[in-house]
Structure 1
Amino acid sequence: MFRRPGPPPDLHVPTHREIADEWGGPIAVLASAPEEWFTLLGRMSSDGYLCHLDVNYHLDREFVAVVQTSRPVPEHHRVKSLTSPETQLHTYLANSDRLDREAVRAGSRTLDCTTTRGAVRLDGTPVPVEVHRAHGCSSALLPEIPDHQGYVIVTAPDELWEIAIDLILRPPTSF
């Protein structure tokens, strides 16, 4: 066992506003999420660089949708972090308890997706996308964020897909 002398490390959990300020750029969110839904911000860093920001939507205890805004990590970083609609779909299915334990353990290899053409609205403008579907849920990639580097992936169950494909960009100060 390793022991560290002195007081325990600072276990500060950043607020949504602190996370958004660290992000520093526009963040994709649902244009009109139902009032009873609440959000939690998730984050993923690579070598200390914030590269993915997830806006997770919940209704009571149910995980109903996720909008991930991503940006490329700097070239000098050892670890690159890329997500795809398929990996996001698998993660969503696992986190929303829509996959059995064996499928979760097996990883995305067992996710049998179908792909169709569709559109996602970003700030009111339709963007053509490929929609990946599996187990009654869908995920789509918007490959560009206007005037910024990065991309957006939206994932939700098919019954909420129409709500999920209407996105807007919000500044960090709105969190």
Structure 2
Amino acid sequence: MFRSDQQPPGSRSPDRETVEEFGKPVAVLRDAPPGWFALLGQQRSDGFLHCLDVAYHRGTDQVAAVQTSRPVPESHRVRPVTTPLSELWVFLANTDRIPHRTFPADLAPVRRSVVVHLDGAATRVDGHGSHGCTSASLPSGDGHLVVTAPDAHWAVAADLALRGAGVF
């Protein structure tokens, strides 16, 4: 979780260490509603940390996901690719909005134009929508950010801020 004030003085949380290893700011919700909490996930390729995923929950329900990525070194043969469509499929599957045997091609997503705010700057981007949820991506330095949420929470989920390790 993001609550560094709950750590004993001088201790380091695994989340903070992971963000420090990532080496660039991580996208988080600028102002998560009361009762929402965040869990940090990570994706690696050949041991190289290339994505940090911040999943927001309310109780046992996941209500938003924000992914920050950076490119893998040129020497890596495997090039992980995350798209708004792949993240939408993962979100729908993880939140039981689609049957578990559904494939990404079965989603019948609708392309739509949405607005994502990053550190107060609004950017209109193309997104994908399906089953009452939306996912969209925007560039961030040499990587990109992908935000995914139910349409009912889109305004909150698409209001992002970049934060360093100190937020954890």
Equivalent pair of 1:21/1:173 in contact (CA under 8 Å): no
* Paired position in structure 1 for 2:61: 62
Deviation of 1:101 after TM superposition, in Å, equals 2.6
* Paired position in structure 1 for 2:7: none
Deviation of 1:127 after TM superposition, in Å, equals 1.1
1:41-65 deviation line (CA, Å, top 9, x unaligned)? 0000001110110000001100110
TM-score, normalization by structure 1 = 0.86
Q: Give the structure with the larger strand fraction.
A: 2
Say yes or no: does 1:123 pair with 2:129.
no
RMSD: 1.1
Q: Give me the whole-angstrom Cα distance separating, in 1, the residues matched to 2:160 and 2:107.
A: 26
Deviation of 1:102 after TM superposition, in Å, equals 2.8
User: 3-state DSSP class of the match of 1:116?
Assistant: strand
Q: Give me the whole-angstrom Cα distance separating, in 2, the residues matched to 1:91 and 1:136.
A: 14
Q: Give me the whole-angstrom Cα distance separating, in 2, the residues matched to 1:161 and 1:33.
A: 12
Deviation of 1:25 after TM superposition, in Å, equals 0.8
Say yes or no: does 1:157 pair with 2:150.
yes
Deviation of 1:131 after TM superposition, in Å, equals 1.8
* Paired position in structure 2 for 1:5: none
Q: Give me the whole-angstrom Cα distance separating, in 1, the residues matched to 2:64 and 2:21.
A: 23
User: 3-state DSSP class of the match of 1:102?
Assistant: coil
* Paired position in structure 2 for 1:11: none
* Paired position in structure 2 for 1:6: none
User: 3-state DSSP class of the match of 1:34?
Assistant: coil
Deviation of 1:123 after TM superposition, in Å, equals 0.4
Say yes or no: does 1:137 pair with 2:130.
no
Which residues in structure 2 correspond to 1:61-140 (within 5 Å)? 61-103=60-102, 107-140=103-136
1:16-49 deviation line (CA, Å, top 9, x unaligned)? 1121111121000011111211110000000111
Equivalent pair of 1:69/1:153 in contact (CA under 8 Å): yes
Say which of 137, 159, 163 aligns to 1:166: 159
TM-score, normalization by structure 2 = 0.90
* Paired position in structure 2 for 1:20: 19
Deviation of 1:173 after TM superposition, in Å, equals 2.1
1:135-166 deviation line (CA, Å, top 9, x unaligned)? 00000001x21xx3110000000100010111
Moved over 3 A (4+): none
